[in-house]
Amino acid sequence: MLRLERITHENLDDILALDVNEHQKDFVADNARSIIEAYIAVSHGGNAFAFGVFDGDTAVGFVMIGYGTDDEWTDPPQIAKNSYNIWRLMIDKSFQGKGIGKGALKLALDFIKTFPCGKAELCWVSYKPDNTAAKELYRSFGFTQTGEYDGGEVIAVKKLQGEEK
C-alpha cells in the first residue's frame, strides 16, 4: 500500500539511494539536494515538508511540499505567496511506469488539503517545458499552465477551493 512517510534517521539512506533514469536527471534535483533545500527554507522562515514515498516497506520515491516563500528565496513567482506547491516529485527508475507517480501525487494533494500551514486557494507546480511526463501527470489532476515561468520552468496551478477533507 502506497503511503507518505516523513524523512527520519531510519529511512534517510533509503531515500538518498533513490534515483531517476539518466535522461531524467535534468528534470528533478537529487533527493539530497532537495532535503537540504527543505532545511534551508525552514531555517529561513519558510515551510517545507519532505516525504519518502513507500510501497509497503520499500522506498519508491520522494515528494516535497512547500508553502509560501522564505527569506532566502530571491525573486519568487507571485503564485508562491500564500499558496502550496509540490516542490519535488520523483519516482525511482526501478518503479516508474507502475502508477506510483499518480498515487504519490494523490497522497501529496491529500496532505495539502489538510492545510497544515493554513487555508490557501491554490496549489502550484513547476517543471521543465520538455518534461512531457510531468506535464501530463499534473494535467490529469487538474493543473493548468499559467503562461508564467519560475527559473525557466513552466508553472501550472490547481484550485484547492472546496477541497477540504
At 5-30, the pLDDT tens digits run 999 999 999 999 999 999 999 999 99
Q: What is the 3-state secondary structure (H, E, C) of 12-29?
A: HHHHHCCCCCHHHCCCCC
In degrees to the nearest 10, what's the CA dihedral of 99, 100, 101, 105? 110
Angle at 78 between CA 150 and CA 145, to 5 degrees: 55
- pLDDT of amino acid 162: 59
The mean per-residue pLDDT over the stretch 106-126 comes to 97
pLDDT band at residue 165 under the 50/70/90 scheme: very low
Per-residue pLDDT of 44-90, as tens digits, reads 999 999 999 999 999 999 999 999 999 888 889 999 999 999 999 99
Q: Which of 74, 90, 82 is nearest to 127 (CA)?
A: 90
**Is 152 inside a domain boundary?**
yes
- pLDDT at position 139, please? 97
Residues 113 and 165 sit within 8 Å (Cβ to Cβ) = yes
pLDDT, average across residues 94-107: 97
Confidence of residue 130 (pLDDT cuts 50, 70, 90): very high
Residue 164 pLDDT > 60, yes or no?
Answer: no
Is residue 106 domain-resident? yes
Cell numbers representing residue 82 in the block: 500564500
- 7 is in which domain, residue-wise? 2-159
Does any domain span residue 68? yes
Per-chain mean pLDDT for the chain: 94
Q: Is residue 165 part of a domain?
A: no
Q: How far apart are CA 129 and CA 135, in angstroms?
A: 8
Q: What pLDDT band is residue 161 in, cutting at 50, 70 and 90?
A: confident
CATH number of residue 150's parent domain? 3.40.630.30
pTM of the complete model? 0.93
| Total domain count, the chain | 1
Q: Which residues lie across from 64 on neighbouring strands?
A: 50, 88
Whether residue 164 is contained in a domain is answered as no
